[in-house]
Chain A
């Protein structure tokens, strides 16, 4: 079995990415090995585990063979199933293509309804949910939503896989990645477009005063232009105003303001309160003062009238 073979290889290994293997002992006795994979340039790329597990349902045990992939912070990426070992439901009926997709969707959701419940509760609420159903363990509404989340006849498979994917492996992966952190990796994270990586890098590169580690300033400032509004807002709110002082950066911010989503516009105007406005940015604001709404016009006016 491939999983066990990895485990043998992994014994005593540490340090270099290529040789990182860790055994994960899950809560329910399932044990498997997770392995760091590199991209073609030798950079850490993702984690992989081959899993073989019996999935018990009504005393009928069926094996599941599956390859699982996580990103470098333990977020689920995808799964693969050997073509000769398809996933099956009750009575060994194989998954349909739609059900494979549904499984992926379900595994992608870290806040799945499966999280909060014991397997016994789920069996209760999905089999007993009836029209006008009562409230008992969960509300009628929740029981119905659960039926939409899981694949009929494969509740145990869904439940087991979700709890593996979002289980202890996340901590294992986090500790491995922490040990691999380097300036190159953090720089890669900031530019990755993966918000998990970006927040992770920000946690390490920007302090409580908004000071950014030398060498990363431009990469961090660039995140203000991210299509991910929540990330942009985080940086904008936290970053020390000194980084937004140069004429060049202010020109860029002015351009960004004109095209930004309303929420970012308000965040930018709030930040502009903290910096000394250069001539170009003032001009941009003046020109576009009346292009938006009353609130923005008032805020711009206040900024322009501020004594510098």
Chain B
């Protein structure tokens, strides 16, 4: 690259870094998540697959959060039309997510977030006058109840900006110059997408065997469902392993058992997890990076592209092998890997716990929460937009456990992830409001200490491998030659709790389960790579199982050990220049030897 060009790119990057905006044809796009100071607002990337962007959310548990503030440079002074991209997240009939946009100390365009409409849309903020070079913009939260803003658009065009997400993606690409600013992270032997327990273990395992690894996580912390953002404890045993060598990395990451939804964030050991990664010279860690695109060469994945959930700058990763540890099977899905979502029929699998007919039923998503005692009685607002409760039905609890769960086939856990999370929030806030306002003797001196805004998702896609683990494999303890990870958790298939269904038919948010006990059994290596994308491994809840078997394999210590196996398999594949399947066909002895060792 010649110096002049490099300089030009540097200054362009600088411009974007400084002003977090896209500017073209007198249109200026300001991404809310790229605000210089996000104040008390949080960045939410969970709806990226649907709206192609992250957004800012005022998650204040009922107390207005501090303003998000940024300064925007306008190349041209003059009058602009302001559009605000937002939604009413609880239009029942009108939601609480109200906020204002302030420019240089003045509110513009009125109150946003209470339109009564659930779709993400551009809302008209009216005409605004820009007198100076730089304008201070503030998002002022009015309620603390999850108001959200995706972006602001200043335009001198009379046309309404594109309302649909595809049109928006194109506009974003143009105005943020995504193609022009994308950077190459370089080539890696193994690109691990997803920094939950499975992905983190996969990365460490591979790196310690000399494999050059990129670990990409779409949140600022590692650990996924076990991070302080979700707070689910690690389950599944590591002391009953057929191959005791597995589980060592899981043990390193394990920060002890604080239960589910513990109000003390530190209990979940975010720092421990990041620190371990920092010592690994073969791992390049990319946090805050959401992978949303793959580049294929034939049927192989050549590269993945991730976007920073805050700055919106993109990075491209090329790799020899890829590992889908996203939970949602995102990489596999984008690459055209075979997958399954929902339940198989009994006729198809021969499983006694499978339903008569196949369907879209999945386990749900939890947004855990906890309250703590305080010195004096405090108030909590009424929440008419939330789920309603009464003395006849409410959940009389000071903190949540796993049962707080939404999305049992009534909502799609990927395309309606936002709706599921929001339904959880309506249950949590509605119930808490009932407790605070109607049971003051018990709840007056308690306050919400923490409510998860990141959903703890249990189930979505399962990528198909050369073997699909079934209930029979699990219950009969079949020992295949490629047996690797030992799993011990019960077949734990959640369903809406009966009483909850009675009061909230079709709107359940509370789960029941039946634990079907199993003897320790093993998971074949063939469940850990895609059957039709030849350089794709997978570990975690998205491996190759039936819905029923997934009910047991899905717990996180077990998922972590899958990651450990993949790391080893990747090192063998790399050494012998073969595919994940090639390891099974030609180097299985070597793999088992490594696991045994």
Contact = CB atoms under 8 A, between A and B. Distances in A.
Contact of A140 (B235, B499, B503): B235
A275 interface: no
Given A228-B390, A230-B503, A292 B489 contact: no
A120 interface: no
A293 B116 CA distance: 5
Contacts of B391: 195, 228
A109 interface: yes
Contacts of B582: none
B384 A261 contact: yes
A133 B257 contact: yes
Contact of A229 (B233, B388, B442): B388
A302 to B, nearest CB: 16
Nearest to A134: B237
B116 A294 contact: yes
A294 B116 CA distance: 7
A31 interface: no
Nearest to A109: B396
B393 A230 contact: yes
A195 B393 CA distance: 10
A215 interface: no
B249 to A, nearest CB: 16
Contacts of A293: 91-94, 116-117
Contacts of B390: 195, 227-231
Interface string B486-502: 00111010000001000
B260 interface: yes
Interface string A156-198: 0000000000000000000000000000000000000001000
Interface size band for B: 35 or more
Interface in A131-151: 131-135, 138-141, 144-145
Nearest to B438: A227
B372 to A, nearest CB: 14
Contacts of B492: 139
A262 B385 contact: yes
A261 B259 contact: no
B106 interface: no
Interface residues of A, number: 31
Given A135-B490, A141-B260, A292 B93 contact: yes
A111 interface: yes
A111 B231 CA distance: 26
A265 B93 contact: yes
A109 B91 CA distance: 33
Q: Which of B256, B257, B490, B503 has the most CB of A within 10 A?
A: B257
Q: Which of A109, A132, A139 has the most CB of B within 10 A?
A: A132
A296 interface: yes
B559 interface: no
A77 to B, nearest CB: 13
A38 interface: no
Interface of B: 91-94, 116-117, 233-235, 237, 254, 256-257, 259-260, 384-385, 388-393, 396, 401-402, 442, 488-490, 492, 499, 503, 515, 517
Given A230-B503, A296-B93, 14 more contacts: A132-B254, A133-B257, A134-B488, A135-B235, A135-B517, A139-B490, A139-B492, A141-B260, A144-B401, A195-B390, A230-B390, A262-B92, A262-B388, A292-B116
15 contacts: A108-B396, A132-B254, A135-B515, A138-B515, A139-B235, A140-B235, A145-B401, A229-B389, A230-B393, A261-B384, A262-B384, A262-B388, A292-B94, A293-B93, A293-B116
Which 7 residue pairs are nearest across A and B when measured between Cβ atoms? A293-B116, A292-B93, A293-B93, A228-B390, A131-B257, A262-B92, A195-B392
Interface of A: 105, 108-109, 111, 131-135, 138-141, 144-145, 195, 227-231, 261-265, 292-296
